[in-house]
Homo-oligomer: A and B are copies of this chain.
Amino acid sequence: MAASAQCRTPIRVGILGASGYTGAELVRLLVRHPAVTLTALTAEQHAGKSLAEVFPHLGALDLERGCRESGHSGVRALPGLVKVGEVDWGAIDVAFCGLPHGTTQEIIAGLPATVKVVDLSADFRLEDPETYAAWYGHAHRAAALQREAVYGLTERYRPAIRAARLVAIPGCYPTASLLPLLPLVERRLIDPDQIIIDAKSGVSGAGRGASQANLFCEVSEGMHAYGVGRHRHMPELEQELAKVAGRPVMVSFTPHLIPMNRGQFITTYVRLADGVGVEDLRRAWQEAYAGEPFVRALPAGVMPHTRHVRGSNLLLMAAVADRRPGTAILLSVLDNLVKGASGQAVQNMNLMLGLAETTGLEQAPLFP
A residues within 8 Å of B by Cβ? 1-3, 6, 21, 24, 27-28, 31-32, 55-62, 65-66, 69-72, 196, 198, 200, 203-204, 208-212, 214-226, 228-230, 234, 250-252, 254, 256, 258-263, 265, 267, 269, 291, 293, 296, 302-312, 314, 316, 320-324, 327, 329, 331, 356-359, 362-368
CA distance A363 to B212 in the complex (A): 26
Please tell me if the beta carbons of B58 and A364 are within 8 angstroms of each other in the complex.
yes
User: Which of B230, B260, B363 is A32 in contact with, Cβ under 8 Å?
Assistant: B363
Residues of B within 8 A of A219 (CB): 216
Contact A252 B269, beta carbon cutoff 8 Å: yes
Which are the 7 A-B pairs with shortest beta-carbon distances? A222-B307, A217-B368, A224-B305, A57-B308, A57-B365, A216-B219, A198-B198
- Complex CA–CA separation, A212 to B148 (angstroms): 37
User: Among the listed B200, B214, B229, B324, which residue makes an inter-chain contact with A256, where contact means beta carbons less than 8 Å apart?
Assistant: B200
Whether B216 and A71, one on each chain, are in contact in the complex, defined by CB atoms closer than 8 angstroms, is no
**Bound-complex Cα distance A59 to B65 (A):** 33
Known: A203-B216, A228-B329, A357-B69. A221 touches B256 (CB 8 A): no
Contact B302 A56 (CB under 8 A): yes
Q: Let me know if B224 and A204 touch, CB within 8 A.
A: no
Contact B215 A254 (CB under 8 A): no
Copies held by the complex: 4
A217 cross-chain contacts in B, Cβ below 8 A: 21, 203-204, 208, 214, 261, 368
Q: Is the CB of A60 within 8 A of B316?
A: yes
A51 CA / B165 CA spacing, docked (Å): 42
Instruction: State how many angstroms separate the Cβ of A216 from the closest Cβ of chain B.
Output: 4
Q: Closest B-chain residue to A196, C-beta based?
A: B269
Q: How far is the CB of A133 from chain B (nearest CB, A)?
A: 18
Determine if B229 and A367 form an interchain contact, defined as CB atoms under 8 angstroms apart: no
A66-B293, A261-B216, A368-B21 given as contacts; is B196 within 8 A of A310 (CB)?
Answer: no
